[in-house]
Structure 1
Amino acid sequence: MFNVELTSERIARERLETRRKREAERQERIFKEKVRTIGVDVKALDMQVEEKNAREEAARTEEAAYDAEDRRYNFEACVHQNRQKKKSREMGKALMNYRHQHQMPSTRREFDLNDPDCYRKLDPGDAQMMLPGLAGEEQDSESRLKRQKEQLREWLLCQQKEHEEEMLRQKMEGWQYEQSRKEMHDLAVELHKLEMDRKKATAVAVKDYNLAAAEARQTEEKEGNKEYDGSQQHALDMVPGMCPSQDRREPPESLQQVVQFQKHQIEEKKRTELEKKQEGDLYNRIRLDSVHSALLMERQQKRLSKQLRRIQDSTNAQLAQTRRQQYVTTFSRTVCAF
Structure 2
Amino acid sequence: MYKVDLPVDQSIERAVERRRSAETTRKARIFNTRLRVMGLDLDALNQQVQEKKHQQNMDMQRDKAFDKLRKYHDEALLQQDIDEREKQAALHSDLTQYWATHQRVEDSRDADLKCGLKGAFRITIPEGELGPASMQILQGEGIGEEQKSREQMKKRERDLQAQIEEKERRHMADKHREMLVSKSLVHQDLRGVQLHALEEECKKAARIALDNYNQALSTERAEKLKDQHRREERENLAELRHTLRSDMMTECGEAAERDVGGGRPPRVLIDKWKGMSPEQLSAIHREREEQRLEKQRRRDAEKIQDAAWELQLLKLSREAEEEERRAAELRREKRLQTDRYNMQLAREQQAYEEYLNKKLYTNKPTKDYFYQFNTSSR
TM-score of the two chains, using structure 1 as the length reference: 0.37
TM-score of the two chains, using structure 2 as the length reference: 0.34
Q: Which has the higher contact order (CA 8 A, sep 6+)?
A: 1
